[in-house]
Amino acid sequence: MLEINELECVRGDRRLFADLSFQLPPHTLLQVRGPNGSGKTSLLRNLCGLLAPAAGSIKWNGRDIHAMGEEYRTQIAYLGHLSAVKDELTPRENLSFSARASGLVARTADVEAALRTLGVDGFHHLPCKALSQGQRRRVALARLCLSAARTLWILDEPFTALDAAALGVVRQLLESHMQAGGMVVLTTHQEVAISARTTRRVELGH
Amino acid sequence: MITHTNWFKYSSPATFYQLAGKLTPWFFAAAILFTIAGIYVSFFVAPTDAQQGEAYRIIFIHVPAAWMSMFIYIVMACWSGIGLAFNTRLSSMVASALAPTGALMTFIALWTGSLWGKPMWGTWWVWDARLTSELILLFLYFGFMSLQAAIDDPRRADKAGAVIALVGVINVPIIYFSVKWWNTLHQGASVSLTRSPSMAATMLIGMLLMALAFWMYSIGAMLMRVRCIILERERNAAWVKSVQGDER
Amino acid sequence: MTSPGPLDALRAVAGRDLLSALRRRADLLTTLIFFIIVASLFPLGVGTETALLRAMGPGVIWVAALLASMLALTRVFAGDYADGTLEQLALAPQPLAALAMSKVTAHWLASGLPLVIVAPVLGLQYDLDAEGLLILLASLLLGTPTLSLIGAIGASLTLGVRGGGALLSLIVLPLYVPVLIFGAGAVEAGAAGLGATPHLSLLGALLLVALVFAPWATAVALRIAVE
């Protein structure tokens, strides 16, 4: 259960949002909406713990996430704007290394299965710089298949550059994660219908 | 009735701005008084040195400047560290305000060291341990100031400056020791500004007075500079707008 | 399913960097070639009198190694910062200091170790004898990791900041001075017959101090950069 209380975010000179409060129980989807520059990414980075809030608190099961430190990071999986895909490595190498570096279990069979789910499993000897933007994004998203143990998924514009088929795959991934008790926080400019037991919305930029 | 001062209120930039404004003239006045006393002792009371004649009197500026350059660096690193650890803005602003004065002291120490070296040993630069360490200290100050100048986000600049200042402060003794070692290996003991003439008591008093003068000046300069930094960083706050209104 | 041990993450980070470095051999070669060119430029500037070169040699090779090492530092975190890998590392359950150490180790293996291996060849250009070459090798072997560790702090502080390489040099070169003094000093002491052990021991001590403090300072600086 994630609990946000009177969260305030200041970047440089601007106060992006203040007095933001909400709760996120398991099986919940949170959609963060707002115009460009309204602080959606900053909110997500606050939830990850990368950015410290100017005021207010973020609690995971009653404990402040900054006090929890490493333990909180075993509970979350984050996908930001940048895909974290290395150009000179193949998709399999990328996924294997990045999963292991994040402390996830990455057996060869699981890595192959994850790439297959996202449709990028055919590029065994091609470095990722030979792939298209959408294909690179899918390599990044494949990490979600290995992140079932991470309860809270925080995704910044996960549907960007995806075609309809890939979009469907990702939607299914999110839905099954939430069904199993997980939570998903995402920002998106696109209207994507994701079914979850509970859906919350946060509007920024007012 | 006993009144307790709440010292923490001075950690707010707005209150400190007013306090700094009131204190600055006092520190500059003290600096002028100490300078007059120091120059009097340095030029008229301290005896002529047997080996070096009158030219040695430049140590009354060189040594206090060198002391202040190192002292200010340590103080700057402390305030920076406090700003990083406790996430306070004013501590970091004070550290940023101290840096140019510290660099100035270092430059004065280098320049007077050079001026001393010329009549003594005929060269404009002497690679002795103290001067070389001061040169490296100047680079450390420049590194701190350049890093802060290059980062646009003021909070990130504060924290990055704190890291480099703290790393520098740990390194200063290591650098000094290694430079001293290097100096004894390469030069022998003949040329050394650190071997000052044997200290008559009056010489020590002269140096202490000048050191106090530099200290008062440094605090005054810091207070003036930190007021500018506060105005710039807090420019969107209401109290700054009313201050600007008053001063128009 | 048992969770992987913490060492696996460190190995993954180092392995990824080494594999990337292997696939981008051009970057490593430019650092090495820079080292060789700088060390070879000095005789062109000061003349070829053997006694002068022999006296200058240790210092010149050390300064060249220092500059080459600093040139390579611009790459240790910048790639990861640009493509989002760094923020993933900041979100890993392992301590960021350990992950940063892993990266710096891989970086040294790819760019520092080649300098150490090539240096004796340059030492021949400066007429160092066999014992001098051995001391040069030992001093660089102890010194270049320290340079990488200290440099990593500077590299992490200047991520995404204007002025990049020049600013990094300004911050890091003053901190390099003790390593330079003891490193070059070791070879000079050996050449003068005074024994290089004290210098090499001090280099070792600096390496230990750097190993204790630098990863922590680097992690703090990385978190500041990734905010």
CA distance linking residue B167 with residue A178, whole number of Å: 46
Question: CB contact, 8 Å: A103 with chain C?
Answer: yes
Under the banding of pLDDT at 50, 70 and 90, the label for residue A186 is very high
Instruction: State the nearest Cα–Cα gap between A13 and chain B, in angstroms.
Output: 8
Question: Under an 8 A CB cutoff, do B152 and A13 touch?
Answer: no
Q: What is the number of structural domains in chain A? A: 2
Q: Identify whether A28 is part of a domain.
A: yes
Which residues of chain A are within 8 Å of residue C93 when distances are taken between CB atoms? Answer: 70-71, 73-74, 102-103
Q: Identify whether A176 is part of a domain.
A: yes
Instruction: Report pLDDT for B127.
Output: 79
Under the banding of pLDDT at 50, 70 and 90, the label for residue C165 is confident
Predicted confidence (pLDDT) at residue A35 exceeds the cutoff of 90: no
Whether A93 and A126 map to the same domain: the answer is yes
Note the residue count of chain A.
Answer: 206
Q: Identify whether A172 is part of a domain.
A: yes
Which residue is associated with the tokens 């390194």? B171
Whether A93 and A180 map to the same domain: the answer is no
Tell me the CATH number at A27: 3.40.50.300
First vs last Cα of chain C: how many Å apart? Answer: 33
> Domains of chain B: which residue ranges?
19-48+58-235
Predicted confidence (pLDDT) at residue A189 exceeds the cutoff of 90: no
Whether A136 and A182 map to the same domain: the answer is no
Instruction: Report pLDDT for B194.
Output: 53
Predicted ipTM? 0.91
CA distance linking residue B163 with residue A20, whole number of Å: 32
Scored b (16 or more CB within 10 A) or e, C185-211 reads bbbbbbbeeeebeebbebbeebbebbe
Domain hosting residue A100, numbered range: 86-147
C neighbour chains, 3+ CB pairs within 8 Å: A, B
CA distance linking residue B225 with residue B172, whole number of Å: 25
Mean pLDDT (whole number) for A131-153:
92
Whether A155 and A142 map to the same domain: the answer is no
CA distance linking residue A48 with residue A37, whole number of Å: 19
Of the candidates C58, C96, C207, which has an alpha carbon nearest to the alpha carbon of residue C145? C207
Here the tokens at position A78 are 């984050």
CA distance linking residue A167 with residue B157, whole number of Å: 41
Which residues of chain A are within 8 Å of residue C99 when distances are taken between CB atoms? Answer: 101
Which residue is associated with the tokens 């003021």? B154
Q: Over pLDDT 70: what percentage of chain A?
A: 100
Instruction: State the nearest Cα–Cα gap between B162 and chain C, in angstroms.
Output: 10
Q: Are C75 and C20 in contact (CB under 8 A)?
A: no
Does residue C201 or residue B4 have the better pLDDT? C201
Question: CB contact, 8 Å: A104 with chain C?
Answer: yes
Whether A4 and A68 map to the same domain: the answer is yes
- The residues, any chain, with a CB within 8 Å of residue A136's CB and separated by 6 or more, are A83, A85, A128
Instruction: State the nearest Cα–Cα gap between C215 and chain B, in angstroms.
Output: 12
Instruction: State how beta strands A55-60 and A2-11 pair.
Output: antiparallel
Scored b (16 or more CB within 10 A) or e, B41-78 reads bbeeebeebeebeeebbbbbbbbbbbbbbbbbbebbbb
Q: Identify whether A174 is part of a domain.
A: yes
Q: What is the pLDDT of residues B21-57, one digit of tens each?
A: 999 999 999 999 999 998 888 888 777 766 667 777 8
Question: CB contact, 8 Å: C25 with chain A?
Answer: no
CA distances from C157 to B94, C55, C214 (A): 21, 37, 12
Predicted confidence (pLDDT) at residue C164 exceeds the cutoff of 80: no
Q: Are B146 and C157 in contact (CB under 8 A)?
A: no
Whether A2 and A69 map to the same domain: the answer is yes
Tell me which of A119, A147, A175 is where a domain ends. Answer: A147
Whether A69 and A157 map to the same domain: the answer is yes
Whether A52 and A137 map to the same domain: the answer is no
Which residues of chain B are within 8 Å of residue A12 when distances are taken between CB atoms? Answer: 152-154
First vs last Cα of chain A: how many Å apart? Answer: 27
